[in-house]
Amino acid sequence: MSDSIVEFSNVTKQFGNHRAVDNVSFVVRKGRIFGLLGPNGAGKTTSIRMLTYILKPDSGSIKMFGQPVGPETQKKLGYLPEERGLYKKMKVGEQLIYLCRLKGFTREKARSQIRYWLERFGALDWIGQEVGELSKGMQQKVQFIATIAHDPDCLIFDEPFSGLDPINSEMLKEAILELRDAGKTIFFATHRMEQVEQLCDDIALFNKGKLILQGDLTEIRSSYGLNSIRLRFSGDSRFLNNMENIRINNRSTNYAELRLLEGANDQLILREAQRHVRIHAFELVQPSIQEIFIDSVSK
Amino acid sequence: MTFDLIQKEKLFLIIQREYLTRLRSKIFIVTTILAPVVMILLLILPTLIQTMTAERERQFLVYDETGEVGSGLVANDSIYYKLTSDAPDELRTRLINGSIEGYLVIPHEILDGQGKVTFFHGGTAGMTVTSRIRSDVQQIVRDIRLDRLDTPAEVRAILADRVQTENLTITAEGTEEADSGFFMLLGFVMGFIIYGAMFGYGAVIMRSVMEEKTSRIVEVIASSVRPFELLMGKVTGVALLGLTQFAIWAAAGAGIMMIAGPIMALFMESGAIHEQPVGASTDAAAFSIPSIDPFIWISFVLFFLLGFLIYSSLFAAVGSAVDQESDSQQLQMPIIMLIIIPLMFLFPVSDDPASTLSVVLSMVPFFAPILMPVRMAVIQIPFWQLWGTVLLMILTFVVLIWMSARIYRTGILMYGKKAGFRELWKWVREN
């Protein structure tokens, strides 16, 4: 593919006896948000560390913009690690300029970029403050600026929403979508499936080091067809426990997602539900990512 | 796996950050000022304490069977010694209940060269007191015995005479210089400074690695530069910081010397103007230090640098392997031992810098930073020993930094795991 930005080919990485990443191949295209999904320890962070050239694969190859990853590709890459961190005793401006220059920017270019972004986030006043003096939310913003200030073509966000309050989460989501629209390629790693549905164009599902499913999110979901039910109700939902041939996901006091398995009859379920609870909504839908993940793992 | 070629601009950026942020830190300013003050205090404090404590008045009772020795002691110092006619048993009781500090029993046969003077005291008498009493008694007993034999004055003069000896060092240029023990002191001071520097700057490196790891900034940095570049940048930056600190101290020291000389001369002149107007300037001149071969300074810096490089690569490895300072104790132990061992040999080596023991110890790369300057200050080190040691140290550094880099790049990404020596060795082997 001509517009492929990142290419993993048969990549394997082992730590002692543990295979963190096992023969993984995928391609990421330009201008897409690519979701790396899977539970903790599935191999997402190890894959990212190889892409950022922090770790080297034991076998296989990783290419970015057609060339093997290395110091050159590092410059075109912005990385927001899952565990955030900055130099606590360094001033915000100094620190951002330093990190930007490590990516190959000149001092002048770095300075103007950083002023632009600080201003944009309403944070220009912090420029002379030590990072350790800032609140956690402010530090998150500074770290986000550090990730994007050198205008990288490829961005990697590892669990970007963890620890953010709703307002900052929303701001970050908007910023990510804006970067995508500006033609950046974005990696987005998470174990929180519901975030994926709102942001990702493509996904790669990891489990125990293996890539178990990948592709365009919409295509994947439609390939499953309308095999799930979204049920909103009030009343006693214990009748669901006795239903056969279904799997229940995301169940709460007045909501449930039901996956129809072999031999299940949606009309039968509707009738049964009517007998037990007051129905607010009953909808046949495509499966959720969580359901797709569970389904893929069990295969 | 080989190291990638170092990217010079990035390395320079890291060095710059490591150097400048520390140079401006409070701790650097404080240690730069305090370290010499503490060092000077350590040098003069013992003498100061001694002169302050020696003032205490003490008195010892003298039970004298000779009728001569005791009165001689009292004639010498009537406060220190006091004659008593109480029997030794009585004195013993008084000593036990604490009403006297101590007493001497001088038997009559002492004047015949037999028996012995006994000094009774509570607890430990102390070295100063014991040696004073011994020499006082010795002198009086000797004089009385000489008197008895009607010894002529010439013989007494011979007995009292001391033979003069003088140490002269022949320098490489063939000139003679008085060996004042100054160079031995210089060696000691150099050894101690390097010892302190290994510990101090080693700890700086370790903490800095640990800080980057625990604050998690290291993963961001590692996505821009190779861990080896970060490690080398850090080590170089801190080495430059150390050199800067030395330069400041040297400049301050030279400044003080330059000012202190004339001031000292001024004081002596005004104080001694009536008695010896000519001698004043020579006294002031005696205050300036003997000329030190510039080569000694250069070697001092060289050995500091090499020692710093060796130990900082070890400290960096430890720092990368732990999450918090308290976990580092166990891993630091062997490094601390390596720094302390040469300190124990500081005296024997400076006492006989050419002995086989001294040569061998000072050539061990881990001990050389402290012991070689000590030897070098006192004697001329043979060419092969000096440069052989430098070569050995460079090789040691290369091996250690290679191992350390492997531990480092695994360690900085490893959290929540307390690694032992076995684990570290695995990182070296498997990476």
Q: What is the pLDDT of residue B275?
A: 44
Q: What is the pLDDT of residue B54?
A: 60
A160-to-A87, A172, A186, A240, B217 alpha-carbon distances in Å: 19, 8, 12, 36, 16
**Which of A238-247, B112-121, B151-160, B170-179 shows the lowest per-residue confidence on average (mean pLDDT)?**
B170-179
pLDDT tens sequence across B58-68: 788 999 888 88
Using CB atoms, pick whichever of B1, B10, B216 lies closest to residue A85.
B216
- Under a CB-based contact definition with an 8 Å cutoff, are residues B136 and B73 in contact? yes
Q: What is the pLDDT of residue A197?
A: 82
* Single-letter amino acid code for the residue at A86: L
Q: What is the pLDDT of residue A2?
A: 55
User: Domain B60-160: which CATH class?
Assistant: alpha beta
pLDDT tens sequence across B326-344: 888 888 999 999 999 998 8
pLDDT at B5 over 80: no
B41-to-B29, B30, B38, B45, B276 alpha-carbon distances in Å: 19, 16, 5, 5, 33
3-state SS track over chain B: CCCCCCCHHHHHHHHHHHHHHHHCCHHHHHHHHHHHHHHHHHHHHHHHHHHHHCCCCCCEEEEECCCCHHHHHHHHCCCCEEEECCCHHHHHHHHHCCCCCEEEEECHHHHHCCCCCEEEECCCCCHHHHHHHHHHHHHHHHHHHHHHCCCCHHHHHHHHCCCCCCCEEECCCCCEEECCCHHHHHHHHHHHHHHHHHHHHHHHHHHHHHHHHHCCHHHHHHCCCCHHHHHHHHHHHHHHHHHHHHHHHHHHHHHHHHHHHHHHHHHHHHHHCCCCCCHHHHHHHHHCCCCCCHHHHHHHHHHHHHHHHHHHHHHHHHHHHCCCHHHHHHHHHHHHHHHHHHHHCHHHHHHCCCCHHHHHHHHCCCCHHHHHHHHHHHCCCCHHHHHHHHHHHHHHHHHHHHHHHHHHHHHCCCCCCCCCHHHHHHHHHHC
* Single-letter amino acid code for the residue at B126: G
Q: What is the pLDDT of residue B256?
A: 81
Using CB atoms, pick whichever of B4, B9, B215 lies closest to residue A85.
B215
Mean pLDDT for B104-122 is 88
CA distance A137 to A135: 5
Please list every residue in chain A whose beta carbon sits closer than 8 Å to the beta carbon of residue B219. 49, 54, 79, 81, 83, 85
CA distance A186 to A176: 8
Contact B215 A90 (CB under 8 A): no
Contact A52 B223 (CB under 8 A): yes
pLDDT tens sequence across B11-47: 999 999 999 999 988 889 998 988 888 878 877 787 7
Mean pLDDT for A8-28 is 91
Of all residues in chain A, the one with the smallest CA distance to B430 is A16
Higher per-residue confidence, B286 vs A186:
A186
Interface check A91 vs B, CB under 8 A:
no
- Ordered by start, the domain boundaries in chain B are 8-36+179-430, 60-160
pLDDT at B388 over 70: yes
Nearest to B332 by CA among B241, B233, B199: B199
CA distance to partner chain A, nearest, from residue B397 (Å): 25
Contact A98 B223 (CB under 8 A): no
ipTM of the complex as predicted: 0.84
pLDDT tens sequence across A28-87: 999 899 999 988 888 999 999 999 999 999 999 999 999 999 889 999 999 999 888 899
pLDDT at B281 over 90: no
What's the mean per-residue pLDDT of chain B? 84
Q: What is the pLDDT of residue B43?
A: 74
Q: What is the pLDDT of residue B269?
A: 58
pLDDT tens sequence across B341-386: 998 898 888 888 889 999 999 999 999 999 998 888 888 888 899 9
**Mutation for B interface: A102, A148, A162, most B CBs within 10 A:** A102
Nearest to B397 by CA among B327, B321, B306: B306
Percent of chain B with pLDDT over 90: 29
Interface check A109 vs B, CB under 8 A:
no
**Which of A103-112, A182-191, B96-105 shows the lowest per-residue confidence on average (mean pLDDT)?**
B96-105
Exposure class string for A41-60: b at 16+ Cβ within 10 A, else e: ebbbbbbbbbbbbbbebeeb
Mean pLDDT for B181-208 is 88
Mean pLDDT for A93-101 is 94
Contact A54 B222 (CB under 8 A): yes
Contact A53 B223 (CB under 8 A): yes
Q: What is the pLDDT of residue B273?
A: 45
Mean pLDDT for A85-94 is 91
Mean pLDDT for B219-225 is 92
C-alpha dihedral, A200 to A201 to A207 to A210, nearest 10°: -140
CA distance B24 to B318: 26
pLDDT band at B391 (very low <50, low <70, confident <90, very high): very high
Residue written as token pair 């048993």: B89
Q: What is the pLDDT of residue B280?
A: 41
Q: What is the pLDDT of residue B282?
A: 44
pLDDT tens sequence across A240-294: 888 888 888 878 888 988 888 888 888 888 988 888 899 999 999 888 888 888 8
Please list every residue in chain A whose beta carbon sits closer than 8 Å to the beta carbon of residue B413. 49, 54-55
**B243: buried, middle or exposed (CB in 10 Å: 19+, 13-18, 0-12)?**
middle
pLDDT tens sequence across B262-278: 776 666 555 544 444 44
pLDDT band at A1 (very low <50, low <70, confident <90, very high): very low
Interface check A132 vs B, CB under 8 A:
no
Mean pLDDT for B305-320 is 93
Higher per-residue confidence, A16 vs A214:
A214
Q: What is the pLDDT of residue B285?
A: 43
Using CB atoms, pick whichever of B21, B216, B223 lies closest to residue A90.
B21
Domains detected in chain A: 4-221 (3.40.50.300), 225-298 (3.30.70)
Q: What is the pLDDT of residue B284?
A: 42
Long-range contacts of B98-104 (CB under 8 A, 24+ apart): B98/B122, B100/B59, B100/B60, B100/B61, B101/B58, B101/B59, B101/B60, B102/B60, B102/B61, B103/B60, B103/B61, B103/B62, B103/B63, B104/B60, B104/B61, B104/B62, B104/B63, B104/B64, B104/B73, B104/B133, B104/B137
Mean pLDDT for B232-240 is 94
For residue A8, give both structure tokens. 């993993």
**Mutation for A interface: B219, B323, B426, most A CBs within 10 A:** B219
Phi, psi values for residue A281, rounded to 5°:
-155, 140
- Under a CB-based contact definition with an 8 Å cutoff, are residues A259 and A287 in contact? yes
Q: What is the pLDDT of residue B314?
A: 93
Which residues are CB-contacts of A107 (< 8 A; sequence separation ≥ 6)?
A: A97, A101
Q: What is the pLDDT of residue B204?
A: 92
